Structures are given as C-alpha cells and as structure tokens.
Amino acid sequence: MWTFATAGRVVAGAGASEGVADLVAGLGRRVLVVAGGHADVDALAGGDEVTVWRHRGEPTVEDVRAGVARAREVRPDVVVGWGGGSVVDTAKAVAALCRGDGDVLDHLEVVGAGRPLPADAPPVVAVPTTAGTGAEVTANAPVRVREHGVKASLRGRTLQPAVAVVDPVLTLGCPPDVTASSGADALTQCLEAFTTPRATPLTDPLAREGLRRAARSLVRAHSHGDDLDARTDMSVAALLSGMALANAGLGAVHGLAAALGGRLGAPHGEVCAAVLAATTEANVRALRRTDPDGAGLRRYAEAAAVLTGRASARPEDAVAWLRDAAAALGLRGLTALGLAGADVPEAARAALAASSTRANPVALEQGELEDVLRASA
C-alpha cells in the first residue's frame, strides 16, 4: 500500500514569485514572513499586519523556539517562508508549533519525545531561493540539536506547505558554492527516492525526471549561474526530489547526513555529496552480494543510464559519475568538512539510528557505514 501527498498547490516557472503577494492576501490578513538574509520581500512588507522575521543558517532548536515565540505574539493567519531550505523549514516549523503551547523538543523525532504536532496551524506559502531541498513540498523540517550533535526532524501533515511557489529567477543570484551544495542535495534525494524499496509508481517518474534534469544542468548552473534554462532544470529537479522523498523516503546518505549534520556545521547538501559516491558504492556492492538479480541493482543500473546518458551503463558507472560531478562542483570531502577519524564509529552508530537509513535499498552494518565514512574523507 502507498499514499501520495504534496503541497496543496504548486505555482512554478520564471516570474512565479511576482504573484506571491496576491496569493498571501487570499489566505489571510495577519502575515508572518520568515525571510532569509538575502531575500527581497519588499512586495510583501506593505501593510501594518505584515511582520518580517529574518532567519539565517540551518535551523537549530533555539532558532525554532525564537520563531515560535515571535509567532505566538503575532498570531498569523498565514506564514510565508522565503529563502533557502533552511528558511522554508524554519517557517514550516514555526507555523506548525505556533498555535499549540508545546516546545519543539516535545515533537522532534529520534532525540525528542516525537509527539504528534498540533492539528491546527496557519497555512504556509513556501518560496525557495535555492534549488535543492524540495522543502516547499515536504512534510518534515530537520532541526539541528546541538547537545546531541545530530539533526532530527519534525514530521507531520501540518508541515506540508499550502502553496509552493517555485521561481527559478530567485536562484539566479545563488553563489556557486550554494548552487553546488543545494543542487547536490536535490540530486541525492532523486537518487535515494528512486532506489529505495519504498519507491512507488507515482514517485518513480518524479525521481527519474529530477535525476535527468540534475544530471543535465547541475554543473552548468554552478559554472554559469545566469543560465536561466539550467537554473530552471535545477528548480524543477529540487521540486520533484521533494515530492519523491516525501512519499518514498530516502536512504543511508541522508541517514549519514543526519548523523554528521549536527556535529560538522557544514552545509547539508555538501555533507550529502561527500558521502554519496561511497554510499552508492557500498549499496551496489552489498546488493551484488545479497541480491544479484534483484530490483535494487536494476534500479541502480537505470539511474546510471540516466546520469551517464548511456543505456548500457552498469550500477558501478553511477559511482564514477557521482565522483566526477562532485569534483567538477568543487565539493569537499569529510575531512575538509571537519570530521575527525576518532568520530567515525559514533557517527556511524548515529546514522544506523537515523530514520532515513531504514529506507536504504539494503541493510548496511555498522562496519560498512564506518568504511563509507573513511572512504569519504
């Protein structure tokens, strides 16, 4: 059995963000705009019932608490998240918690109490300015928990935005390093949602098309940031990756990123990219050993064909393509991102406990995850 859920409405294409003020006006009068440092939200900031709250960085428990406190004062009818995935997630979390009286830790999975989110929440209009996370169409929000050194998610139906406005024009100003790390996240999400056994007939075409667009345009968007066609491919790839992951799940790459994200402080997409090739290699090796004629390897062969453009590609060719792409994008390995060799066993243990790891195409042991981390140095 499977289900499919996404944002209530998706408005996409160059110039789509010009309609946000009208969209928001149709949803309510009192507006809280959670905006990234760079985001130009002047079009929204008109009336005296609009509050703009700026947020920077990947959200921590403390950030979400601060946003919720502001929102409980404002009591918004609608919340806008205008910025990178970090800002969109912060807006989603703030909206989901602001009408209850609980704390973020009451609802956080893995390290929190994991209680269901309040049923009542203002609608969210999500306006991404990076092409990467797909957070505009997902029902979770990862939050960094410093004291545990991990990232864990809030998860629930009320986190799904009412409207996703995907305008590639907003990503034209994204610097190359952010283009590379966020784009690598979209690529990873498409690959993991395509290769997980939880993939469905509805997520497959989304993940496949997202993979195709990211393979075609990620390096180009990085080297030629003003290429609107490449930016459009990446915005669509990110959107499709979010739709796919929200309904199929991910895999060990995101399990490792959850384990590392709290301790490294490096961009999420770059952490994913650092472990992507080695995790794919470990998965393919384990599948060759345990299920050589199974669907898992066929999925990797198909993904390799999409990535390389060669119908005869083997699963291992995907690994080589991913290594080349990471090099072309100037993405760093785990040592440069701050992982010390002594932290490897604990990080692998935390990755085994992460929710995404359960959707991996094959069960990897602690030792295999440690090898992945060492090979990603």
Ligand X SMILES: NC(=O)c1ccc[n+]([C@@H]2O[C@H](COP(=O)([O-])OP(=O)(O)OC[C@H]3O[C@@H](n4cnc5c(N)ncnc54)[C@H](O)[C@@H]3O)[C@@H](O)[C@H]2O)c1
Q: Which residue has the tokens 């910025």?
A: 83
Among 37, 47, 309, 341, the residue binding ligand X under the rule CB under 6 A is 37
**CA distance from start to end of the chain:** 39
Give CA–CA dist 247/153, Å, rounded: 15
Place of tokens 């949803």: 27
Whole-angstrom distance, CA of residue 239 vs CA of residue 213: 11
Residue among 28 and 225 whose Cβ is closer to ligand X = 225
Q: At what angle do helices 203-223 and 228-248 cross, to 10 degrees?
A: 150
DSSP state of 359: G
Closest CB to ligand X among residues 143, 215: 143
- With CB under 6 A as the contact rule, which of the stretches 115-123, 139-147, 204-212, 358-366 interacts with ligand X? 139-147
- Selected range binding ligand X among 168-176, 197-205, 225-233, 369-377, rule: CB under 6 A: 168-176
Residue whose C-beta lies closest to ligand X: 84
Q: How many residues bind ligand X (CB under 6 A)?
A: 32
Give, for 322, the enclosing helix (H) or strand (E): helix 315-328
Instruction: At 320, list the tokens.
Output: 């080589």
Q: Is 17 in the site for ligand X (CB under 6 A)?
A: no
> Of all helices (H) and strands (E), which one includes residue 10?
strand 9-12
Nearest to 326 by CA among 218, 174, 171: 218
Interactions with ligand X, residue window 249-268 (CB under 6 A): 268
Options 42-50, 64-72, 140-148, 334-342: segment touching ligand X (CB under 6 A): 140-148
* Options 38, 220, 224, 374; binder of ligand X; rule CB under 6 A: 38
Q: Is 360 in the site for ligand X (CB under 6 A)?
A: no
Answer for the pair 265, 334: CB distance below 8 angstroms, yes or no: no
**From 116-124, 126-134, 217-225, 344-352, span contacting ligand X (CB under 6 A):** 126-134
Nearer to ligand X, 23 or 190 (CB): 190
Amino acid in the structure at residue 132 = G
- Residue 188 in the binding site for ligand X (CB under 6 A): no
In the complex, the residues that contact ligand X under the rule CB under 6 A are 36-38, 58, 83-87, 89, 129-130, 132-135, 138, 140-142, 151, 170-171, 173-175, 178, 182, 185, 242, 268-269
